[in-house]
Amino acid sequence: MPSYPSLVVLAALPVFALADLSNRAAAPTFVAPAFSPFSQSSNYVGQSNGSFPKTDVVPGKVFDRFIQIWMENTDFSVANSTPEFASLTKQGILLEQSYSLTHPSEPNYIASMSGELWGAMSDDLFAIPENITTFADILEDGGANNKSISWCCYQENMPTSNFLGMNFSSIDYVTPGAANYTFYERKHNPCIIHNSIANNTARVNNTRNFNQLASDLNASSIPQWVFTTPNIVNDGHDTDPNFMGKWLEYFLIPLLNDTRFNDNRTLILLTFDENETATVGNKVFSVLLGGVIPAKLRGTVDSTYYTHYSAISTAQSNWRLKSLGRQDVNKTMSNVYAFVANQTGYKNVDISPDQIPLNNATGTYPGPLNSDLYTPFWAPDDISVIGAGGQGVLVLPGLNTSMTRSTLAQPVNLTSEGLSNPWSNLPNPGGASTSTGSGNSKGAAVPLSANSYAPVFAAILAVGTLFV
């Protein structure tokens, strides 16, 4: 197996943090984007194209609906001392050892869907090929239940379903009279980064904006698995914890009290993509909420070590689903939330504080999304491994299962050879939009087949690239 050094660039970490938080210094006062979460608004541009179709509920061992809400770039101690966040911990279980995976933002969102960071070290345009299994595939496969579980990614200011552009600017409702503001960012949308979703016209309505969320709430058709990203001010990226707190009062608090969103079989994870201070451990505020939390556990603290991969393994354990065969089967990184594990029979790994990985380290490591240390996408190391759901690995057609990490050649430097990364092109499925209104598509829509790795790699080697 080739040796891939991990060169930790600690000196660069504050630069990432400052660049990502550059708009926070002048955080405005919160303004509600709609009358309520149940109301559509012209601030969201695209109106609802109809509610999400209702499907039969596939019961889980512990919960029947799992909703994630991701906020941005805040240290654990800061969020935990912000009144609105602190108040929510009294209604749920505070996960005091919950960690992000890396810096900056986008790799964490990618990992939440396909179970790997893939060498990503930036918030650049990435489009992961169709034969890489995503959690959407896991849900639709159904695992031991053999019944598809409904799912959706709600993106607050995304203009239309399945919008593929890098970002979208719309009327600045927070500061009337100002220029249009970029409220939507592709880098915070894990569904659309993966071509098996973005290129699949059958899934075109599974990535929806908040006008469609309002429609789905009113129709009582919220899916069973939900990933929710507020816009760039409401998630705190361009604002501050006080602004986020006011958004929680406007958005989450009413929904917690509405059974169309939160019934007694609903689990809600409120978490952050990463912390703010990149030079310290990447611990993030995470709290489990929802009607499924037993009264005796509300207001309690869980000290088990978790990462973003735990959200994947917890859903797998609950619904007896197959695994990605990626970091979701790395037992150190993918403990199941304890109150769920205690009911499903899953045995977690006890990770002492001195064993917690340094997930704050933005290192230089190889992968298909790293142009300086490029490798092809790889197959799971062991497709026979049993995951948290007690099932095997789901492998999509077209994946070469013999191309595991141990078989890869040394990584190559695309940048030094003047070659572009083959996975930095926007997909262009039939009928899907790559730019609308003020959106920025940033790149040609040049789809690549699932078997593109070998020709690209061969071309690189032909020009005599130096291995690093």
Q: Give pLDDT tens digits for 277-332.
A: 988 889 999 999 999 999 999 999 999 999 999 999 999 999 999 999 999 999 99
pLDDT at 278: 81
* Order of strands across the sheet that contains 225-229: 207-208, 151-155, 225-229, 65-71, 266-272, 287-289, 93-95, 300-302
Minimum mean pLDDT range among 84-88, 275-279, 440-444: 440-444
Q: How confident is residue 467, by pLDDT bands cut at 50, 70 and 90? A: very low
pLDDT at 46: 75
pLDDT at 363: 58
Q: How confident is residue 142, by pLDDT bands cut at 50, 70 and 90? A: very high
Q: Which two tokens stand for residue 416?
A: 């030094």
pLDDT at 27: 78
Percentage with pLDDT > 70 across the chain: 85
Which of 310, 279, 282, 324 is closest to 118 using CA atoms? 324
Specify the amino acid at residue 209: N
The 10s digit of each residue's pLDDT in 344-371 is 999 999 999 889 988 876 657 899 999 9
* Across 371-376, average pLDDT: 95
Q: Is the distance from CB of 327 to CB of 339 less than 8 angstroms? A: no
Q: How crowded is residue 384: how many other Cβ atoms within 10 Å of its Cβ?
A: 8
Of residues 436 and 395, more confidence is placed in 395
Minimum mean pLDDT range among 64-68, 228-232, 365-369: 365-369
Contacts for 20-28: CB closer than 8 Å, 24+ residues apart = 20/73, 20/103, 20/104, 20/105, 20/237, 21/73, 21/237, 21/276, 23/237, 23/238, 23/239, 24/238, 24/239, 24/240, 27/238, 27/239, 27/240, 27/242, 27/243, 28/174, 28/175, 28/233, 28/239, 28/243
CA quadruple 387, 227, 54, 224: dihedral, nearest 10: 40
* Class at the top of the CATH hierarchy for domain 7-462: alpha beta
* Across 111-138, average pLDDT: 96
Minimum mean pLDDT range among 27-36, 145-154, 452-461: 452-461
For residue 192, pLDDT over 80 is answered with: yes
For residue 233, pLDDT over 70 is answered with: yes
pLDDT at 358: 81
Of residues 113 and 162, more confidence is placed in 113
Minimum mean pLDDT range among 313-317, 401-405, 434-438, 444-448: 444-448
pLDDT at 438: 43
Mean pLDDT (the chain, rounded): 87
Minimum mean pLDDT range among 102-106, 278-282, 407-411: 278-282
pLDDT at 310: 98
Longest Cα–Cα distance in the chain: 64
Burial of 209 (C-beta count, 10 Å sphere; 0-12/13-18/19+): buried
Q: Is the distance from CB of 256 to CB of 45 less than 8 angstroms? A: no
Q: Is the distance from CB of 468 to CB of 365 less than 8 angstroms? A: no
Q: If you ran DSSP here, which 8-state letter would residue 314 be given?
A: H
* Across 241-264, average pLDDT: 98
Percentage with pLDDT > 90 across the chain: 78
Residue 246 CA, chain-centre distance (Å), reads 23
Q: Which two tokens stand for residue 202?
A: 């059958």
Residue positions annotated with a catalytic role? 238
Q: How far apart are CA 192 and CA 433, in angstroms?
A: 12
Minimum mean pLDDT range among 72-86, 109-123, 129-143, 362-376: 362-376
Of residues 457 and 424, more confidence is placed in 424
* Across 79-107, average pLDDT: 97
pLDDT at 392: 98
Q: How far apart are CA 166 and CA 77, in angstroms?
A: 32
Q: Which two tokens stand for residue 295?
A: 């009264």
For residue 435, pLDDT over 60 is answered with: no
Q: Is the link from the previous residue into 104 a cis peptide, with omega within 30 of 0?
A: yes
φ, ψ of residue 208 in degrees (nearest 5): -135, 155
pLDDT at 451: 36
Which of 411, 406, 417, 405 is closest to 373 using CA atoms? 411
Q: Which two tokens stand for residue 368?
A: 């298909």
pLDDT at 281: 86
* Across 166-190, average pLDDT: 97
* Across 212-229, average pLDDT: 97
